[in-house]
Structure 1
């Protein structure tokens, strides 16, 4: 593995640790700042604000990375995240916390620019494997982060935010001193139209072949949100799991999926091709979800965990497939649009799935997983019919 890949993977892992280590103590911080115990609305506002800013500005920063190069935009993003955590570490008032989250959302190009960077330096036949490693590094960060955040938060409520700022500072230094540019910046003057947040979205809608890709990305992200929204509720209502068992089940799933994404996307795409590897991942998820819908004993969930984790080959395969739908000059803009789709899913999906769950909670909690299967089913024809572009599409001037 070459040095740029190691730097990108390390940066993404550290970034995920920085994001997730604040999860265990954010409620207590909001209680401290707002002087109220009813902090659920404030958590919702902060989550929605971050996602909304990311939805609007990720395509802009992705397009800028096509013009300026990946490295400077990634440095701006990492600096913005570090500033956000410094503000949150010392913010005495709610509006300052909201300002920090807005800055973090505005500069949240880490994922889209890092994905474009990997696309720049990876041959097509290696992209699925590398995207699998990319997702695995992010997953490892999300496993380590909450544990570290909980330990630090017990010593001082603000300490996890300082740790997150330090981690992002290390990320910034690592990228500044070690990461080379993966793409020759354009020598032309930046077209100010690039800064229009609606321009990349208009571009996608004008290119009919790209819309199915974006919709599949939205669906895959939306279904992923369902697990975080409903898993704990379903475990308690169906099996009377306590916090320990809910944590063990999520931890087992995280470990299994990380192993799958490290070792299997490359061989799976070589054997099946990117399109059918993506379909296979969706099929494995649907088999596991149907089993969970009808499960009446907790051990069944752990028994099907390997099948559930095999769904992890689908996303890297589809990411590799998506990169071939546009040319190299527009990868940053395209990855920014895909990040916007993820952000939109993170706003809409929790509300939709939680509403459905509470509608079926008393009669049949497991029905929530059948609703996820229905959403997955919409993605199948989009993958099969919407990824047949023979030649990468060029950037539209509009």
Structure 2
């Protein structure tokens, strides 16, 4: 019993550390960039957007490659090498004295943390069909925990020193590498391995499937606009909070953690209560309206206490993503479900690349020296426009999106 549980524990810790990669640096990035660049908050936001985008590009580009390498060489070496490289990379970022070294660190971190598919494959290897969903749920729980713990660690330790969170992350990754070295057996026997094929490692392959899904094209546009707008929160939160209300790193971390907890509550419980009552179609409609209103409220907020009120309200808007997936799943044919999930994964990755670049540009132009008007909430207003655009497109497609059984549209 124990030997089986230890590898599962290692996988959970691995995906948690991977998920911490973004949240960990969010609270400290404004101070760290200003330290190495001697730049203003507006300039730091531009560099921060590029650092976030390059991390997302690496994950998007290397996830299929790393997954295919694990099919060729086994899961254990890929997972251990990735964790070891991540530990060394955090050490480099902890001592980085130039913005270019930070860029190199984020590039390597994005590659090393692109092990989601390998972690899922390991779980599939060691469990039978009846228990796979349960173990896949553990991976989702690990990711959720990482998104909550990352800002907490970054905020608490970043208040002591902007580089302290990277030291802590390096220690965690190194400890998990040592743990995995002793407890992680190989799950893929040699006879089940296959030759490496570059065609299967193409990260843009799923996007080519869009042409095979003509019935859900407009709905995919809704999803892309929604996700770009929704990613405004992690993209500019630390810069926005500092620029608008003067909060320090500790408060930035606490507010990010509060948002993560609120999202977890919504996804873990409220969605199950709301979706059956509204139906998927109505849930998307009202969720997009709520998200638009909340983004607008963040954009014009004038007092810090307003943020604490908005956080749990805006978290309810997370109902849109699963509801949209349900609508699109029913709009696509049964033979198109695989292509649909691949396209959705690519759209999610694309939004994580585009949103930081767009939103940090908006923050820069409305907070730079001489900006008139000065508006730190400009990225959220841009997000509100995109979200309203998603709502407009969705309203035009609603006749094609049949309501859930038993739910009136």
Instruction: Identify the TM-score tier after normalising by the shorter chain.
Output: 0.5 to 0.7
Q: For 1:51 and 1:369, locate their aligned partners in 2 and report how far apart those are by CA, in whole Å.
A: 21
1:341 corresponds to: 350
Q: CA deviation at 1:311?
A: 1.6
2:359 corresponds to: 350
Q: What is the aligned counterpart of 1:15 among 18, 35, 42? A: 18
Structure 2: gaps of 5 or more residues: 403-409
Q: For 2:286 and 2:185, locate their aligned partners in 1 and report how far apart those are by CA, in whole Å.
A: 35
1:370/1:66 Cα in 2 relative to 1: closer, same or farther (>3 Å)? Answer: farther
Q: For 2:174 and 2:267, locate their aligned partners in 1 and report how far apart those are by CA, in whole Å.
A: 28
Aligned with 2:231: secondary structure? Answer: helix
2:166 corresponds to: 161
1:226 corresponds to: 232
Q: For 1:117 and 1:322, locate their aligned partners in 2 and report how far apart those are by CA, in whole Å.
A: 29
Aligned 8 A contact 1:21 1:145 in 2: yes
Structure 1: gaps of 5 or more residues: 390-398
2:107 corresponds to: 102
Aligned 8 A contact 1:59 1:200 in 2: no
2:203 aligned with 1:202: no
1:347/1:64 Cα in 2 relative to 1: closer, same or farther (>3 Å)? Answer: farther
2:270 aligned with 1:264: yes
Q: CA deviation at 1:193?
A: 1.5
Q: How many residue pairs get matched?
A: 382
Q: TM-score, normalised by structure 2?
A: 0.66
2:407 corresponds to: none
The range that moved more, 201-210 or 256-265, is 201-210
Aligned 8 A contact 2:94 2:166 in 1: yes
1:287/1:332 Cα in 2 relative to 1: closer, same or farther (>3 Å)? Answer: closer
* Residues 111-131 of structure 1 deviation map (CA, whole Å, 9 limit, x = unaligned): 566678899979999999889
Q: For 1:215 and 1:124, locate their aligned partners in 2 and report how far apart those are by CA, in whole Å.
A: 32
Matched ranges for 1:210-359 at <5 A: 215-216=221-222, 218-228=224-234, 242-243=247-248, 250=256, 252-273=258-279, 276-292=282-298, 299-318=305-324, 337-338=346-347, 340-354=349-363, 357=366
1:191 corresponds to: 197
Q: For 1:247 and 1:222, locate their aligned partners in 2 and report how far apart those are by CA, in whole Å.
A: 22
The range that moved more, 52-61 or 210-219, is 210-219
Q: For 2:262 and 2:340, locate their aligned partners in 1 and report how far apart those are by CA, in whole Å.
A: 31
Aligned with 1:264: secondary structure? Answer: helix
1:81/1:338 Cα in 2 relative to 1: closer, same or farther (>3 Å)? Answer: farther
Q: CA deviation at 1:95?
A: 5.6
Q: CA deviation at 1:372?
A: 2.0
Q: CA deviation at 1:146?
A: 0.9
| RMSD of aligned Cα (Å) | 5.3
Q: For 1:186 and 1:212, locate their aligned partners in 2 and report how far apart those are by CA, in whole Å.
A: 40
* Residues 245-286 of structure 1 deviation map (CA, whole Å, 9 limit, x = unaligned): 766655544443333233323344454455654554433322
Q: What is the aligned counterpart of 2:149 among 141, 144, 153? A: 141
1:127/1:262 Cα in 2 relative to 1: closer, same or farther (>3 Å)? Answer: farther
Aligned 8 A contact 2:49 2:356 in 1: no
1:364/1:104 Cα in 2 relative to 1: closer, same or farther (>3 Å)? Answer: closer
1:189/1:133 Cα in 2 relative to 1: closer, same or farther (>3 Å)? Answer: closer
1:315/1:366 Cα in 2 relative to 1: closer, same or farther (>3 Å)? Answer: same
Matched ranges for 1:42-53 at <5 A: 43=48, 46-53=51-58
* Residues 215-237 of structure 1 deviation map (CA, whole Å, 9 limit, x = unaligned): 45543442233234555666677
1:37 corresponds to: 38
